[in-house]
Structure 1
Amino acid sequence: MREHVGEFFRDLRGGLGGQPLPYVWVPELHEDGVHFHVHFAVGRFVPRRLIESAWGRGFVHIKLLSGLPAGSGALGESRKAAQYLSKYVTKSFTDPSTRAPGMHRYDLAQGFKPAVIRLPGWTVEEAMGKASDIMRDVPTARWSSADSERWDGPPSVWAQWGR
């Protein structure tokens, strides 16, 4: 699957003129437990026919991420895309049968890795407070490994800001 997705994004980038193309993608296991499909977001308009041509492996569904307030800008659009994709990142996060150990639940274009911001704190709440200060808001959603009986990893917290 990763090879197919890599080929898809190379072909897509080529069809858009070859310039660097920021993207993020998330695999999702079908209900059959064998096959995957891919959700992805890019930061620009891409014609449907180009997506279909670059993929060339079957069904393509495009969803315009809408419902943003006027003036949301790039940050609001990015948050909306992250909200959409985060559903699939977390969907099977605690199920080891749907994720190869050591593999990320998402991937992104080379050269577009987000900067790491470390927020040390003596407690989760202290660290979350620092994150909320940076985001200028409180999280709209939050998950903690402490709430998962089947969690088999180090203590972890995930949070989402924005709608």
Structure 2
Amino acid sequence: MRADLGVFFRRLRTALGGEPFPYVWVPEWHPGGHGLHAHFAVGKFVRQSLIRDAWGHGFVSIKLLSDLPVGSGRLEEARKAAGYLSKYVGKSFTDERVRHLKRYDVAEGFQPERVQVWGDSVDEVIGGASRMLGGLAPSQQWFSSEQEGWQGPPALWVQW
């Protein structure tokens, strides 16, 4: 699947004029477990016919991420796309088939910047990250301490 997606994104880039563009993709197992499909997001509108032609492997479905407040900018749009894709990343945490594999990938040259946030407590760290993200409160949180039988090191996951 990774190789097919590499070919797909090269074809799509060519169809869009050849300039590199940011994208992120997430794999998901079909509900019956018989194969994978991918969800992806790009930072601009792309016609379904271009996506279908670049993919060339079958079914293609697209949707415009909507329900954003009037005047929303690129940051709000990116958060909406990240929220959409993160639900598929989250599904894989309990799936033994992909438990130790990378759960997403991004366009070459567009990898996210690593940012460290320090604090003396979880609340301080989440508060610091929230301030860095414009003061938004997290929309979702997951704590290993709340998971019965958690076997790994202490962990948390937060989504804005």
How far did 1:100 drift? 5.2
Distance 2:144 2:99 in 1: 19
Q: Which residue of 2 aligns with 1:145?
A: 144
Asked whether the equivalents of residues 24 and 104 of structure 2 are also in contact (C-alpha less than 8 Å), the reply is: yes
Superposed structure 1 runs of 4+ greater than 6 Å apart? none
Instruction: Give the Cα separation in 1 of the matches to 2:125 and 2:92.
Output: 25
CA distance in 1, matches of 2:8, 2:141: 33
Runs of 5+ in structure 2 lacking a partner?
none
C-alpha displacement of 1:48: 1.0
Deviation for aligned residue 1:122: 2.5
Q: Give the structure-1-normalised TM-score.
A: 0.91
Find the counterpart in structure 1 of residue 111 from structure 2.
Answer: 113
Matched, 1:133 2:145: no
Q: Distance in 1 between matches of 2:150 and 2:2?
A: 26
Structure 1 residue runs without a partner (length 5+): none
Q: CA RMSD in A?
A: 1.4
Match of 1:33 in 2: 33
1:147, CA displacement in angstroms? 2.4
Identity of aligned residues (%): 55
TM-score of the superposed pair, with normalisation by structure 2: 0.93
How many residues are treated as equivalent by the alignment? 159
Q: By how many angstroms is 1:91 displaced?
A: 1.3
Q: Distance in 2 between matches of 1:157 and 1:72?
A: 29
Corresponding residue SS for 1:96 = coil
Report the Cα offset of residue 85 of structure 1.
0.6
Matches within 5 A, 1:90-101: 90-97=90-97, 99=98, 101=100
Deviation at 1:138, TM superposition (A): 1.4
Matches of 2:60 and 2:24, distance apart in 1: 17
Q: Provide, for residues 32-91 of structure 1, a one-character-per-residue CA deviation record: whole Å limited to 9, x for no partner.
A: 223011000000121111100011111000111011111101111111111111111101
Distance 1:80 1:157, change over 3 A: same
Q: Residue 115 of structure 1 aligns to a residue in which SS?
A: coil
Q: Does 1:154 align with 2:148?
A: no
